[in-house]
Amino acid sequence: MPAVSQKGSKMPESPIRKLVPFAEMAYKNKKTVYHLNIGQPDIKSPQIAMDAVTHHSLEILAYTRSEGSEPYREKIAAYYNRNNIMVGAKDIVVTTGGSEALLFAMGTIADQGDEIIIPEPFYANYNGFATASGVTIVPVISKIEDNFALPPILEFEKLITPKTKAILICNPGNPTGYLYSKEELETLAAIVKKHDLFLIADEVYREFVYDGLKHVSILELEGMAQNGIIIDSVSKRYSMCGARIGCLVSQNNDVIKTALKFAQARLSPPTFAQIASEAALNTPQSYFDEVIDEYKDRRDTLVTLLEEIPGVKVGHPKGAFYCIAELPVKDSDAFAQWLLESFDVDGETVMVAPAAGFYSSPGVGKNQIRIAYVLQKESLIKAVNILKVALQEYND
């Protein structure tokens, strides 16, 4: 029998999606499942974006430019300029989601066996993108006791080798909700410039910042033009996950020219999705104000309820819409599967994302889960109450 590739065999399963068969079985057994496992916002996409596709005037659904349409890139640049990120259309490559932007970034800066340092826990698909790109992730652990703050810079220095090409962060963080301060970012900027590395910042949750804090982009920092790469996406900002439109942004001409070659190899990003995404840039600030108020209320409710459960420890997110909770269980994978297979409260149960898949260090995060607070507040309250009962029964 022909064998699949070693690379394919090593591709990790998604900790977010691998439990789907058990959820489907729960549905067949007539259970209601509250999904705390996946960051699919329940907020409506901007109507202006939907209308742009409905009322298009295209007669041919043709290829667009490999780097994305020029009018769209110009509008993205204007959006960044309003956020004190001074880039132009030439500094942007439109991608099929932030996922492709990450793949392009890794392909652009790293060769087989090269290393990228990432504070963990991190977005689980970084593991998959690295495996697909032949890149080795070198983790530096951030701890729930420190609310997942940036580890001491000395910990990064210890890990830098001749194979190190970049440091990658997500800000605000998925899965932690941690928001890096300007001082933390300046520390990272100093180390990448000192060692001639790239700093890649996944900034897809830029708009979702709470408690009067402000998001700072790495391209706002002085002297980062050659070292900084931004990964961005419309998925979460406009609740348009299915559009699959993102972008890679850099003022480093060599990075953009190289990323463009990867973009040319896949021809072009989808036309209708670009139309919707361009229109979404006209979304009024009131949309974000309402969304941020809603998420902050959900966060406060979630954290308060979780902290009332005996034995549960919770990170306090300052951005995005995720948190990490440490549970009084040995194996959150087994617990998550048990929730779907063997447990319910009056026909209702919850689906969570085991957090071990958000680490690359073996054995770390085994008693943690990631929760996405993308449910209506009433459903969120029900879900946490079910989780409380489940932990009591599981540990009896």
Fold of the domain spanning 47-280: Aspartate Aminotransferase; domain 2 (3.40.640)
Residue 94 region by backbone torsions, left for phi larger than 0, else alpha for psi between -120 and 50, else beta: beta
Instruction: Return the sign of the alpha-carbon dihedral for residues 363, 177, 171, 41.
Output: positive
CATH class of the structural domain 6-44+286-394: alpha beta
Please list the residue range(s) of the chain that carry CATH number 3.90.1150.10. Answer: 6-44+286-394
* pLDDT one digit per residue (tens) for the chain, 396 residues: 999 999 999 998 887 778 999 999 999 999 999 999 988 888 999 999 999 999 999 999 999 999 999 999 999 999 999 999 999 999 999 999 999 999 999 999 999 999 999 999 999 999 999 999 999 999 999 999 999 999 999 999 999 999 999 999 999 999 999 999 999 999 999 999 999 999 999 999 999 999 999 999 999 999 999 999 999 999 999 999 999 999 999 999 999 999 999 999 999 999 999 999 999 999 999 999 999 999 999 999 999 999 999 999 999 999 999 999 999 999 999 999 999 999 999 999 999 999 999 999 999 999 999 999 999 999 999 999 999 999 999 987
Please list the residue range(s) of the chain that carry CATH number 3.40.640.10. Answer: 47-280
What pLDDT does 13 receive?
81
Q: Shortest CA distance to 333 belongs to which of 313, 312, 358? A: 358
What is the reported pTM? 0.96
What pLDDT does 248 receive?
98
Max CA-CA distance within the chain?
64
What pLDDT does 17 receive?
78
